[in-house]
């Protein structure tokens, strides 16, 4: 124990990062009638190839001068930092050009979907865009949408494709289908069931719908081109049989549309103008366009008659060094109990970093600095940490902590009394006010703030040592000057 004349030395180590100020994103909802003029917000937006496409579309009044994006996660897990880039892009682009963003769940695979994931995704989007999980004002436009909202239209579209000899029911097994599809260097070949008549296909698809076939017995495939160099265009599957209770539709359906079919049709039905996807979907774009082109004469997509048509645009996904951003691998960490849950602070999920103490403005700043391009990237995790420090430096209140304490007794302090000092909550922002710092005759200092010169006092402190030593004087932060008399 160290004895003193007057009071203690608190350690106050705070590293400040002087970096450019963060621009806070906020979003105003507009009706579709308002979405006609180029927003002045676009002038301060970081330009990229996507903003160039949008500005060219606005100049030509494409899609009626509207900008409507969407964020369509699959509710089969929590969102991670890779999704944060997509959220910031879709909502940021719409806000910059006086547009809106739709919140739509891709719930076409009910076996892996849970209500817990739906709630967590909505919380994450509210927190990231509105700074508050419980924000009463939703950042998205209109109601929460689901791919399942359009299951009936998807079914009607499938019937239309069959009637126009653009789809057929195939009985090949999955292994046979892979063999018939070919490879990147070997062209595919037609299924022996490809020549079925329209009437037979309608009957078989009706039996699929009525549940007369077991799971996996057959699928509905688009009739495109099995020799196409793009494997996604070699008669892709549009519908499969899957008996699984859906969180929204229950047991109404035992057949479900594939993602590529439901995604393109949902975009067209909602009047999406710019469907922003990561690069792995670039090879799926011809199928995206084929579905829409094939259904234009069907009158199933009212927005097509208005001249509204979505365009799929791909950008590079976020890769973070030393960080797993794969939902499939993250769910394994959760199910194998390596972490406490999806929101474990060690997890790179949005819920995880929220529990870690990251402010949403830091994630938005990080996504802004990473930027948008088609080039693959592997971002240093230090960029994210720097953004967090920058935002916290501007907004976080300061406090004191002793990590490795030594007890200090003030020998001349009146017994039973207590004093108070005022400490600034923020060294650069006096408008944030102050807090009271109490102390008494017993306080604690950090071990690193005291140097023991030994019993005989012959051990000298390092050159330039400015902290407390026996016989030395030190002014306490916010308080008095003390002298160490005895150790």
Query: Which amino acids are annotated catalytic?
Result: 74, 317, 327
Q: Do residues 2 and 449 make contact, with C-beta atoms less than 8 angstroms apart?
A: no
**Around Cβ 119, how many Cβ atoms within 10 Å?**
11
Q: From CA 45, how far away is CA 92, in angstroms rounded?
A: 9
Write the Ramachandran bin of 150: left for phi over 0, alpha for psi from -120 to 50, otherwise beta.
alpha
Q: From CA 201, how far away is CA 163, in angstroms rounded?
A: 9
Q: From CA 39, how far away is CA 34, in angstroms rounded?
A: 11
Q: Residue 286: name the closest of 238, 235, 239, 230 by CA.
A: 230
């Amino acid at each position: 124990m160290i004895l003193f004349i007057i009071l203690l030395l608190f350690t106050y180590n705070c590293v400040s990062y002087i970096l450019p100020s963060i621009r806070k994103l906020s979003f105003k909802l507009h009706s579709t009638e308002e979405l006609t003029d180029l927003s002045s917000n676009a002038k301060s937006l970081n330009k990229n190839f996507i903003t160039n496409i949008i500005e060219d579309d606005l100049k030509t009044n494409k899609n009626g001068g509207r900008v409507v994006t969407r964020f369509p996660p699959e509710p089969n897990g929590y969102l991670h930092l890779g999704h944060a880039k997509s959220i910031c892009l879709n909502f940021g682009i719409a806000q910059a050009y006086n547009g809106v963003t739709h919140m739509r769940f891709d719930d076409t695979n009910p076996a892996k979907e849970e209500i817990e994931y739906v709630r967590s995704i909505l919380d994450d989007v509210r927190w990231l865009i509105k700074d508050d999980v419980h924000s009463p004002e939703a950042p998205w436009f209109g109601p929460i949408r689901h791919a399942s909202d359009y299951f009936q239209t998807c079914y009607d579209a499938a019937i239309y494709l069959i009637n126009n000899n653009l789809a057929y029911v195939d009985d090949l097994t999955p292994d046979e289908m892979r063999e018939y599809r070919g490879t990147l260097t070997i062209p595919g070949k037609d299924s022996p069931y490809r020549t079925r008549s329209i009437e037979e296909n309608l009957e078989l698809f009706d039996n699929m719908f009525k549940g007369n076939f077991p799971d996996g017995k057959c699928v509905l495939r688009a009739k495109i081109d099995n020799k196409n160099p793009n494997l996604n265009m070699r008669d892709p599957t549009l519908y499969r049989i899957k008996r699984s209770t859906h969180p929204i539709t229950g047991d109404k359906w035992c057949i479900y549309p594939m993602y590529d079919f439901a995604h393109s049709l949902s975009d067209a039905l909602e009047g999406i103008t710019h469907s922003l996807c990561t690069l792995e979907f670039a090879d799926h774009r011809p199928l995206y366009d084929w579905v829409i082109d094939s259904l234009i004469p069907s009158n199933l997509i009212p927005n097509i008659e208005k001249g509204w048509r979505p365009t799929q645009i791909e950008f590079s996904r976020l890769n973070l060094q030393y960080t797993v951003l794969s939902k499939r691998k993250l769910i394994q960490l959760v199910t194998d109990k390596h972490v406490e849950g999806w929101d474990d602070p060690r997890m790179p999920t949005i819920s995880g970093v929220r529990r870690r103490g990251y402010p949403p403005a830091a994630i938005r700043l990080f996504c802004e600095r990473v930027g948008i391009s088609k080039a693959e990237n592997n971002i240093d995790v230090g960029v994210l940490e720097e953004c967090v420090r920058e935002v916290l430096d501007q907004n976080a209140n300061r406090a004191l902590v002793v990590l490795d304490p030594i007890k200090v007794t003030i020998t001349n302090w009146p017994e039973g009394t207590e004093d108070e000092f005022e400490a600034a909550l923020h060294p650069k922002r006096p408008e944030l006010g102050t807090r009271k710092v109490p102390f008494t005759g017993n306080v604690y200092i950090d071990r690193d703030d005291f140097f023991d010169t030994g019993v005989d006092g012959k051990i000298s402190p390092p050159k330039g040592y400015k902290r407390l030593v026996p016989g030395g004087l030190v002014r306490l932060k916010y308080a008095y000057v003390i002298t160490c008399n005895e150790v």
